[in-house]
Structure 1
Amino acid sequence: MASVPIAPVVAAGLVGGCSIARLSGRRPLGGVVLAAAGAVCGRSWLRTRGPALTGVLVGTYLTTFGASHPLAKKLGAWPLVLTVTAAASATSYLLADRPKARSTSSPSPAA
């Protein structure tokens, strides 16, 4: 079964979460979007890449989100959201989505 690229889900979670929070004025609603996308990503990474790489990728997703808050006043909210989204999406692509990563990091099939 071919795996679906997850980097776009990472981008949708980060940009979508920020967009929903800002447009609705309700930060927890943006958090729901962020968490839902993160859950989809984590589940897919765990299934296709194993727990170690999943930990790295979930850590990257959460760290980029967390880093965006203290830096937003210095760089501006949207430039920073787009920067951290690019970083998290690129990491997901390089470590899990690109064809070479798929062929070398897939967990061994269950016996």
Structure 2
Amino acid sequence: MAAKVPTGLVAAAGLVGGFGVARGTKRRELGGVVLAAAGAAAAARWKRQAGGPVAAGLTTAYLAAFAGSHPLAGRLGAWPSVLTVSAGVAAASWALADRRGA
């Protein structure tokens, strides 16, 4: 069943869920656990579906989205920033991995 969930959704859920958990609990490290778990799960599937180089690129994009959401939040606001970068990672994941693995 887990293999049927698109990796883009897993990655986006990690970014959105990690932020939501960190904000809701006021414990950044708990949000980091969610972010890391979803990122690791997505990376493993990216590697199976599209190979190592694509997985490395998407993992880099995932981490860059996390880092980039912070300065972007100053312009858009926290939630819009997280949603924007999550949509970007989900789109890249679909284009480079999910579409191939379907």
Do both proteins adopt the same fold according to a TM-score greater than 0.5, normalized to the shorter chain? Answer: yes
**1:21-66 per-position Cα deviation (integer Å, ceiling 9, x unaligned):** 0000001110100000000011111122111101111011111111
Counterpart of 1:102 in structure 2 is: 101
Q: Which residue identity is paired with 1:40? A: A
Gaps of 5+ in 1: 104-111
Q: Distance in 1 between matches of 2:49 and 2:71?
A: 33
Q: Which has the higher helix share?
A: 2
Q: Distance in 1 between matches of 2:50 and 2:96?
A: 9
Gaps of 5+ in 2: none
Correspondence 1:92 to 2:63: no
Q: Distance in 2 between matches of 1:43 and 1:97?
A: 13
> How many percent of aligned residue pairs carry the same amino acid?
53
The count of aligned residue pairs is 99
Counterpart of 1:49 in structure 2 is: 50
Q: Distance in 1 between matches of 2:64 and 2:55?
A: 14
TM-score (norm. length: structure 2): 0.90
Q: Distance in 2 between matches of 1:92 and 1:47?
A: 13
Q: Distance in 2 between matches of 1:46 and 1:17?
A: 22
Which consecutive segments of 4 or more residues in structure 1 shift more than 3 A?
Answer: none
TM-score (norm. length: structure 1): 0.83
Q: Distance in 1 between matches of 2:79 and 2:86?
A: 10
Counterpart of 2:61 in structure 1 is: 60
Between structure 1 and structure 2, the one with the greater Rg is 1
